[in-house]
Amino acid sequence: MGFSRQDLSPTVTHSLRRLLHELGGTFSHEHLRGYIERWRGKPLRLEEDTMPPGMTGYAIALRDCDLIATRRGLTKTQKKITQLHEMAHFINGDLPLYSHGEATAGYRQFLRQQQRHNDVTSRQRFFDTFDDMVERNAETLARILANIITAHAQNESLVLSDLLEGD
Amino acid sequence: MSLPRIVLITVALTILVIYSIKLRRNAERISGNAIFKFVLGGLLLPLHPMLRSVDNHSLVIDGIATLSQYYSMVFVHLGALQLRQNKAYISITKNRLFLWVTAISVVMIGLIAIDGANFASFSDNEPFNPTLWYYLFYGINYGLIFTISLAILVTFNNETYTHSEAKKAIWWYLGPLCIVFLACGMGAMFINVLFSAAGNTTYKTNLNALYDLCKLLFAVAFGIFAILPLIPKALLNRLFRPIEQLIAKRISTHNRLIAQLHQTITPLVPGVRFDGTFRSRDDQLTEIADCWLMIWTHTDHTGYRSAAKKAQLLMELSHEKRVFTDFGLLEPPIMPSDEIRDSVSVAKHLTRVGLYA
């Protein structure tokens, strides 16, 4: 995979240990989403949104749901990694239950705001983002999660084929 | 009997025989009941063209010919469904498709009864009396055949054979291909019936020929599709080894080209590189796409739609030693849906112009 234990920060190691305990060695994207929803006690919406140049995705903890939005028109891999990056923020505990405390908007109210991209946790790749430890941890976790999900899909397919094709 | 019909029946009977032998050999509890359905379908299958070719058309003959066509397909579908669901028994009379077909068959028999012996096969260019009942009969007939064929196709589709790249390719291409042939054939016949009902018979022969061709292609594609799971694993692996090797070689070439493109493009946007190293192909593809996003906020993308143009732009930016550290004001375009093909094409162009050794 390319990561060694020494590369991982305590935050990422802690998140991975929790995931291993809760979901096992490999898991699907849906399992991961379900885990975040259970953990935070509200639905996690994955959507697309228009956003300023440079921003590929954002996450925000709203009153009635958590929202992850990716930029419209990304490539499949870019979208997958961006979603995982934002999910990693939730798993690492970077976002509180409500992003703006008592003033946090609900989903519908948030979408009506013109300037909604200003106060969100966003994945912007072009300001030496990865010098920021929080962003670096989220990106590290996202890339590990991508590998785990790929391995899960491959293993599942192998197990099924061995079971059903073995005659 | 026409060639497509002979091929169709031969392919169908071969599949049924192989399925039955395989089931018997496995001596599974499931086999008896599933074989019964396959045998029933196999017996009814040739009845339709045989009865159609007789000179004397009557309500009984046309009725049996029509019903045998539908029920042969329904029984094959039920046999396959039983295999798919790994059930020892599936009731024929409680199956929804069977009940639908039975209900529509009653309507079809009614239409035959109303119009007497006027049911010369529409697709065989035989002379017929163009009545409303005749067109109604063939309109419903093709709709029903399309529905049952689609049900059979979906039932035969087995996703457990997708772990190998070659087999995956076969399933991915053959399944949709069967649907395309089926839709084209049935579409041609629907248009043909509509045209004919409106008094335009100019294209009747051509549309019938298209229908026959689609039927033939469907039979061949579906034959391969259905027989694949019955071939022993060892033989299948041996058969697919050359294709597996070709695919592995192709993937390896793609990976090399993507890595080269990654090495070319990321110095232009150093901010996208995570740890300055690349770890997997997905990481490289993400970083390549991030680079393009950044570049398109500075460069009007409309002039760089083709891979050749994109390669040329990269060459120019590399020669100018441009480095993007902040995004521009332009709105980036929708990124390519097939990012691997796009990246590989750009890298190939860069190879052609001699950027890579």
Using CB atoms, pick whichever of A3, A7, A125 lies closest to residue B290.
Answer: A125
What's the confidence (pLDDT) of residue B163?
Answer: 46
User: Which residue in A71, A77, A83, A133 has the most chain B C-beta atoms within 10 A of its own C-beta, making it the best mutation to test that interface?
Assistant: A77
- Is it the case that residue B329 has pLDDT exceeding 80? yes
Tens of pLDDT, residues B88-113: 788 888 889 999 999 999 999 998 88
Residue A167, domain member (yes or no): no
The alpha carbon of residue A19 is apart from the nearest alpha carbon of chain B, in Å, by 22
Tens of pLDDT, residues A112-164: 887 777 777 666 654 455 668 888 889 889 989 998 998 888 776 555 555 54
- Is it the case that residue A35 has pLDDT exceeding 90? yes
What is the domain range of residue A92?
A: 5-162
Average of pLDDT values for A75-80?
Answer: 92
Tens of pLDDT, residues A46-55: 999 888 877 8
User: Which residue in A12, A72, A79, A125 has the most chain B C-beta atoms within 10 A of its own C-beta, making it the best mutation to test that interface?
Assistant: A125
Classify the complex by whether its ipTM is higher than 0.90, answering yes or no: no
- Is it the case that residue B355 has pLDDT exceeding 80? no
User: Which residue in A6, A75, A132 has the most chain B C-beta atoms within 10 A of its own C-beta, making it the best mutation to test that interface?
Assistant: A75
Contact at CB, B337 and A75, closer than 8 angstroms: yes
The mean pLDDT value of chain A amounts to 84
Residues of chain A with C-beta less than 8 angstroms from the C-beta of B240: none
Average of pLDDT values for B64-75?
Answer: 90
What's the confidence (pLDDT) of residue A127?
Answer: 47
Task: Kindly report which listed range (A9-18, B25-34, B74-83, B309-318) carries the lowest average pLDDT score.
Answer: B25-34
Determine contact: B26 vs chain A, CB below 8 A. yes
The alpha carbon of residue B163 is apart from the nearest alpha carbon of chain A, in Å, by 6
- When pLDDT is cut at 50, 70 and 90, the band that residue B348 belongs to is very high
Closest CA to B215 of B61, B51, B12, B76: B12
Contact (CB, 8 A) for A68 and A122:
no
Higher pLDDT, B74 or A4: B74
Higher pLDDT, B55 or B98: B98
What's the confidence (pLDDT) of residue B200?
Answer: 83
Q: Which residues 144-183 on chain B approach chain A with CB closer than 8 angstroms?
A: 160-163
Determine contact: B32 vs chain A, CB below 8 A. no
Q: For residue A114, what are its two tokens? A: 């013109």
Q: What angle do CA B90, B34, B66 make, to 5 degrees?
A: 85
Higher pLDDT, A13 or B273: A13
What's the confidence (pLDDT) of residue A130?
Answer: 64
Q: How many other CB atoms are there within 10 angstroms of residue A17's CB atom?
A: 10
Q: How many other CB atoms are there within 10 angstroms of residue B253's CB atom?
A: 13
**Which residues does A158 contact at the CB level (< 8 Å), separation at least 6?**
B163
Q: For residue B196, what are its two tokens? A: 């004919």
Return left, alpha or beta for A108; rule: phi > 0 is left, psi -120 to 50 is alpha, else beta: alpha
The alpha carbon of residue B317 is apart from the nearest alpha carbon of chain A, in Å, by 18
Residues of chain A with C-beta less than 8 angstroms from the C-beta of B328: 53
- Is it the case that residue A2 has pLDDT exceeding 60? no
What's the confidence (pLDDT) of residue B259?
Answer: 92
pTM check: above 0.80: no
What's the confidence (pLDDT) of residue B349?
Answer: 92
Contact at CB, A78 and B297, closer than 8 angstroms: no
The alpha carbon of residue A164 is apart from the nearest alpha carbon of chain B, in Å, by 7
- When pLDDT is cut at 50, 70 and 90, the band that residue B171 belongs to is low
Determine contact: B269 vs chain A, CB below 8 A. yes
The alpha carbon of residue B257 is apart from the nearest alpha carbon of chain A, in Å, by 17
Residue A112, domain member (yes or no): yes
Closest CA to B3 of B190, B185, B215: B215
Residue A82, domain member (yes or no): yes
Residue of B nearest to A136 (CA): B274
Q: How many other CB atoms are there within 10 angstroms of residue B10's CB atom?
A: 13
Contact (CB, 8 A) for B307 and B346:
yes
3-state secondary structure of A48: strand
Using CB atoms, pick whichever of A78, A125, A161 lies closest to residue B160.
Answer: A161
Closest CA to B151 of B237, B84, B239: B84
Highest mean pLDDT among B25-29, B175-179, B239-243, B351-355: B175-179
Residue A47, domain member (yes or no): yes
Contact (CB, 8 A) for B264 and B350:
yes
How far apart are the C-alpha atoms of B147 and B124, rounded to whole Å?
A: 21
Residues of chain B with C-beta less than 8 angstroms from the C-beta of A165: 160-161, 233
How far apart are the C-alpha atoms of A159 and A51, rounded to whole Å?
A: 41
Q: A with B: how many residue pairs have Cβ under 8 Å apart?
A: 99
Task: Kindly report which listed range (A50-64, A98-112, A121-135, B184-198) carries the lowest average pLDDT score.
Answer: A121-135
What's the confidence (pLDDT) of residue B255?
Answer: 93
Instruction: Calculate what percentage of chain A has a pLDDT beyond 70.
Output: 81
In the DSSP assignment, the letter for residue B319 is H
Q: For residue A65, what are its two tokens? A: 């749901």
Determine contact: B231 vs chain A, CB below 8 A. no
Q: In what order do the strands lie in the sheet with A55-61?
A: A44-49, A66-71, A55-61, A121-124
Contact (CB, 8 A) for B151 and B82:
no
How far apart are the C-alpha atoms of B156 and B281, rounded to whole Å?
A: 34
Provide the residue type at B235 as one letter.
Answer: L
Determine contact: B94 vs chain A, CB below 8 A. no
Farthest CA pair distance, chain A = 62
Residue A155, domain member (yes or no): yes
Average of pLDDT values for B278-299?
Answer: 87
What's the confidence (pLDDT) of residue B276?
Answer: 45
Residue A70, domain member (yes or no): yes
What's the confidence (pLDDT) of residue B165?
Answer: 52
Contact at CB, A75 and B289, closer than 8 angstroms: yes
What's the confidence (pLDDT) of residue B160?
Answer: 43
- H helical segments located in A93-132: 107-112
Contact (CB, 8 A) for B14 and B223:
yes
- Is it the case that residue B161 has pLDDT exceeding 50? no
3-state secondary structure of B275: coil
- When pLDDT is cut at 50, 70 and 90, the band that residue B257 belongs to is very high
- Domain tally for chain A? 1
What's the confidence (pLDDT) of residue A103?
Answer: 87
- When pLDDT is cut at 50, 70 and 90, the band that residue B28 belongs to is low
The alpha carbon of residue A41 is apart from the nearest alpha carbon of chain B, in Å, by 31
Residues of chain B with C-beta less than 8 angstroms from the C-beta of A2: 277, 279-280
Residue of B nearest to A80 (CA): B286
- Is it the case that residue B31 has pLDDT exceeding 70? no
- Is it the case that residue B50 has pLDDT exceeding 90? no
- When pLDDT is cut at 50, 70 and 90, the band that residue B265 belongs to is very high
Contact at CB, B290 and A78, closer than 8 angstroms: yes
